Amino acid sequence: GAVVSQHPSRVICKSGTSVKIECRSLDFQATTMFWYRQFPKKSLMLMATSNEGSKATYEQGVEKDKFLINHASLTLSTLTVTSAHPEDSSFYICSAKAPDNEQFFGPGTRLTVL
Amino acid sequence: GNSVTQMEGPVTLSEEAFLTINCTYTATGYPSLFWYVQYPGEGLQLLLKATKADDKGSNKGFEATYRKETTSFHLEKGSVQVSDSAVYFCALSSGTYKYIFGTGTRLKVLA
C-alpha cells in the first residue's frame, strides 16, 4: 500500500525553540494532507488541513501562529511548532489523501519539550 | 456535528476469545466508516473500512458491518491472538475527507 513518512520520529527540544516536522507521501501525490495531535491514551485530534499551494485550514481552538503549516509540494507538508513549551509535548501524526481519496497515515512524531 | 463513540477500554481477553468493540456514530449524510489499529509507539494502520450501508469490511479475521439503522460499526473477531494487542480506533469520514476518531479502545490479549 501507499507509504507516508514522517521525520523525525522523535525530537526533544528546549522550551522556546521551534521544531519542524516533515510529512512526505512517498509514492503518490497528495494535494491534501492532515495534521493530528494525539495526547497520551487519548484519541487523535485534527489540528489542520494542509492544501498544496494554499493556506492551511485550522480547526477551532488551534493557534495558527503557533503551529505553522506549509504544503509547498505535492509530496511534502511541514508542521512547525513555534516557541515550543512543555504543554506542546505530544504525538503528532500526519495523513495524506491519495488521488482515490483514501487516506494514509504517517508513523507519527513524538515531540518532547523540556 | 459528526461524532464517534467507542466503548471504553481497556478490554482484556484470553487468547482465542471472541472480541467485540462497539462503535456508534452521529453524522449527516452517508459517511465512510473505518477501523484503525495502533501498535505501541507506532502510527495508525487501516484495519478495515466500509463506505455504504450494509457493507462489511474485513481483514485479518476482523469484521465490521455498516449498520445505518443503528448507526453502528462494531468490530468483531472470532478468535483473538496475543499479537492483536493494540489500540483500536473507530473513525468516520464525510465529504470533506476529514476524519473524526473515537477515543480508542485498548485491547490486551493474554496467552
The DSSP line for B62-79 is EEEE-BTTTTB--EEESS
Angstrom distance (rounded) from CA A55 to CA A104: 21
Select the residue from B37, B98, B108 to test the A interface by mutation, using most A Cβ atoms within 10 A.
B98
Chain A CA closest to residue B102? A43
**Span B45-55, mean pLDDT?**
94
Alpha-carbon dihedral sign for residues B95, B100, B105, B109: positive
Whole-number Cα distances in Å, A36 to A13, A47, A92, A97: 20, 5, 6, 14
Angstrom distance (rounded) from CA B85 to CA B11: 10
pLDDT tens-digit readout, A42-91 = 788 999 999 888 889 999 999 999 999 999 899 999 999 999 999 999 99
pLDDT at A44: 87
Select the residue from B6, B32, B33, B97 to test the A interface by mutation, using most A Cβ atoms within 10 A.
B97
Q: A with B: how many residue pairs have Cβ under 8 Å apart?
A: 40
**Span B77-89, mean pLDDT?**
96
| The three cell numbers locating residue A15 | 522550551
pLDDT at A1 over 70: no
pLDDT at B41 over 80: no
What confidence tier does A33 reach under pLDDT thresholds 50, 70, 90?
Answer: very high
User: What are the start-end ranges of the H helices in B6-103?
Assistant: none
pLDDT at A72: 83
Q: Would you call A107 and B43 a contact, using CB atoms and an 8 Å cutoff?
A: yes
Angstrom distance (rounded) from CA B87 to CA B107: 6
* Residues of chain A contacting residue B102, judged by C-beta atoms under 8 Å apart: 43
Q: Would you call A103 and B98 a contact, using CB atoms and an 8 Å cutoff?
A: no
pLDDT tens-digit readout, B14-34 = 999 999 999 999 998 889 999
